[in-house]
């Protein structure tokens, strides 16, 4: 295992309110096991993450829609408690974009990847991403930005029986508004109705061609682009099971080498000039075999621990090593390694498995408390969601007669 500089603490930031974000626990454990002092800025006081033996301290986060000044104040309060600089690692899009915008204000107290201003914003923006893919020669679904409800209806009609509707900047979506970052629309009327909610959503609506999914057609690529401009850590993985089915978070993934995807990712990083951790989602067109880039997340993916290699190097450790000027070893990939999120697949977690190269999101023999807490907290969460769903069914979904679009992702 590579030796991290344990004199330099890590500060993890997550603005999104999600008590069951397993990627946060993965980052806490990865750095904590290496002896790094880990601080978490997130609303996770009642999350299983808070029970981890590897978490040094929790700090109050800024609000979900807090202005940049509040985000900076929250992070600088944490910095004031530390003896020196810390590696700052955002774990969600909102945090990543805030840190990018605040680089000047934060760079005296935190170690950050050197990236041109606006780069993180451009890759996270779904509309701008289409243009970046075109410049890099990376396949991307046909994307249109309608400028009126009637145009949205016409575009949906031209895209066929199903189209994917996305809000260009999903981190701007208001909480509890019933809007989702990505949905499938199956009629021109649904597309027009969504367009009318653009002011409420806080960003433009775009419509994409739907790339049909087949068994094993969803892939992801994780990595860290270092100071040398090269990709370190990470790998290519296949999504074997998702929640919601076929289009949501990875519930079960497998490390599968895919040189074609690695080449596409490297080409895109070079074109964009990206530095830092990235998480790319691809879907392979079952008809043509082409890999289409669906999303670019400028931060660690929740399943990043799938790619912990033979030297226990993952993208979070790669970032810490590089920013503290420690050497990064040659990759030691572990093809066939799997990752399972057991609260979404409890039976799969209990079944015997052939390979010992499997990691569970929550349960770990050296850190048992989060897994124990998950069992009770997740049961309460499921019961609450069921109650909310029963109540929602008693209320008409829409007064307009337009069917609710099919949600993709979470």
68-79 confidence digits (pLDDT tens): 999 999 999 999
Asked if residue 157 has pLDDT above 60, the reply is yes
Torsion of Cα atoms, 396 then 400 then 405 then 410, to 10°: -60
Cis peptide before 116 (omega within 30 of 0): no
251-292 confidence digits (pLDDT tens): 999 999 999 999 999 999 999 999 999 999 999 998 899 999
Q: Which of 44-58, 237-251, 334-348 has the lowest mean pLDDT?
A: 237-251
What local confidence, expressed as pLDDT, does residue 357 receive?
A: 87
CA distance 32 to 179: 36
Write down the pTM of the prediction: 0.92
What local confidence, expressed as pLDDT, does residue 395 receive?
A: 60
What local confidence, expressed as pLDDT, does residue 407 receive?
A: 57
Q: Which of 81-85, 345-349, 363-367 has the lowest mean pLDDT?
A: 345-349
114-154 confidence digits (pLDDT tens): 999 999 999 999 999 999 999 999 999 999 999 999 999 99
Q: Which of 102, 39, 40, 38 minimizes the C-alpha distance to 66?
A: 102
Q: How many CB atoms lie within 10 A of CB 177?
A: 11
CA distance 209 to 334: 35
Q: Which residues of 218-248 are buried (b: 16+ CB within 10 A; e: fewer)?
A: bbbbbbbbbeeeebbbbbbbbbbbbbeeebb
Give the distance, in angstroms, between the CA of residue 199 and the centroid of all CA atoms in the same chain.
25
Specify the pairing of strand 86-90 against strand 163-167.
unpaired
Could you give the C-alpha distances from 232 to 53, 291, 327, 328, in angstroms and in order?
Answer: 28, 22, 11, 8
Instruction: Pull the structure tokens for residue 130.
Output: 């289409």
What local confidence, expressed as pLDDT, does residue 2 receive?
A: 73
Cβ-based neighbours of 346, under 8 Å, separated by 6 or more: none
Asked if residue 359 has pLDDT above 60, the reply is yes
Q: Mean of the pLDDT values across residues 98-117?
A: 97
């Amino acid at each position: 295992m590579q030796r991290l500089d344990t004199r330099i603490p890590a500060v993890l930031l997550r603005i999104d309110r999600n008590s069951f974000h397993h990627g946060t626990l993965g980052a806490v454990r990865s750095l904590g096991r290496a002896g790094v002092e880990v601080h978490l800025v997130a609303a996770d006081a009642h999350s299983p993450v808070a029970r981890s033996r590897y978490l040094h301290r929790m700090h109050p986060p800024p609000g979900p829609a807090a202005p940049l000044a509040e985000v900076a104040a929250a992070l600088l309060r944490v910095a004031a408690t530390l003896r020196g600089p810390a590696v700052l690692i955002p774990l969600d899009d909102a945090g990543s974009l805030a840190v990018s915008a605040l680089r000047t204000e934060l760079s005296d107290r935190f170690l950050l990847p050197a990236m041109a201003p606006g780069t993180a914003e451009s890759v996270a923006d779904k509309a701008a991403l289409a243009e970046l893919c075109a410049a890099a020669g990376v396949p991307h679904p046909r994307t249109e930005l309608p400028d009126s409800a009637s145009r949205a209806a016409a575009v949906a009609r031209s895209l066929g029986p199903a189209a994917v509707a996305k809000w260009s900047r999903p981190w701007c979506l208001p909480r509890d508004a019933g809007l989702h970052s990505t949905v499938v629309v199956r009629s021109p009327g649904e597309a027009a109705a969504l367009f009318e909610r653009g002011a409420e959503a806080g960003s433009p609506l775009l419509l994409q061609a739907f790339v049909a999914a087949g068994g094993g057609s969803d892939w992801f690529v994780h990595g860290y682009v270092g100071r040398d401009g090269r990709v370190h850590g990470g790998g290519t993985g296949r999504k074997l099971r998702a929640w919601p089915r076929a289009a949501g978070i990875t519930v079960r993934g497998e490390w599968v080498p895919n040189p074609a995807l690695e080449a596409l990712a490297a080409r895109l990083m070079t074109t964009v000039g990206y530095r830092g951790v990235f998480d790319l989602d691809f879907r392979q067109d079952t008809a043509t075999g082409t890999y289409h880039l669906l999303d670019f997340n400028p931060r660690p993916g929740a399943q990043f621990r799938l790619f912990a290699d033979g030297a226990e190097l993952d993208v979070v450790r790669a970032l810490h090593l590089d920013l503290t000027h420690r050497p990064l070893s040659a990759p030691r990939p572990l093809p066939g390694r799997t990752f399972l999120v057991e609260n979404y697949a409890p039976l799969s977690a209990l079944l015997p498995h052939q390979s010992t190269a499997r990691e569970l999101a929550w349960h770990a023999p050296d850190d048992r408390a989060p897994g124990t807490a998950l069992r009770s907290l997740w049961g309460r969460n499921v019961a609450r969601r069921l109650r909310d769903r029963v109540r929602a069914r008693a209320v008409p979904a829409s007064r307009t007669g337009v069917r609710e679009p099919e949600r993709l992702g979470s």
